[in-house]
Amino acid sequence: MEDLLKEFPIVVEQPLNWGDMDMHGHINNVWFFRYIENARIAYYEAIGKYEHEQASGTSFVLASTSCTFKSALVYPDVAVVGARIDEILTDRAVMGYRVVSREHNRIAAEAQATLVSFDYAKGEKVIFPEILTQRIHALEGKSYRSKE
């Protein structure tokens, strides 16, 4: 599992709920988005996104999200979810996720979310905050500046 998630600086775990399985006997697709949301928020906390939001009024909006399902998750098991930044663009970042079954040590899903930098007071998109870019570089141990 460490191998499957070694490129993800943030990893969170979520034991599966029995009741999140649907009639097909595996975890219903919507819950994968709940798992990756938890990883996203853990990532936000790691880079001080909330303090920055308070100080600057600039936050992120979830513009889109997607998930590709690789193998079913079945209770009882633990979803181990990695999060990393895949790209930083002018006014947005793309966060990548990997959901791994702890029981089977295999990938259950790969996912992404596009996070748009947004000034709530102005009601408009803004340049992705430099300070968060720096913290992301520090957390990820690499630079995304060449991406655009």
Interface residues with its own copies (CB under 8 A)? 12-15, 17-23, 25, 28-31, 33-34, 37-38, 41, 61-69, 75
Residue 99: CB minimum distance to its own copies, A: 13
Greatest CA span in the chain, whole angstroms? Answer: 47
Residue 16: CB minimum distance to its own copies, A: 9
Residue 95: CB minimum distance to its own copies, A: 13
Tokens of 135: 């913290």
Q: How far apart are CA 34 and CA 38, in angstroms?
A: 6
Considering beta carbons, is residue 122 or 142 the nearer one to its own copies?
122
Residue 122: CB minimum distance to its own copies, A: 17
Considering beta carbons, is residue 56 or 71 the nearer one to its own copies?
71
b/e map of 73-107 (b: 16 or more CB within 10 Å)? bbeebebbbbbbbeebeeebbbbbbbbbbeeeeeb
Under 8 Å between Cβ of 107 and 135: no
Q: How far apart are CA 104 and CA 70, in angstroms?
A: 13
Considering beta carbons, is residue 83 or 133 the nearer one to its own copies?
83
Considering beta carbons, is residue 4 or 41 the nearer one to its own copies?
41
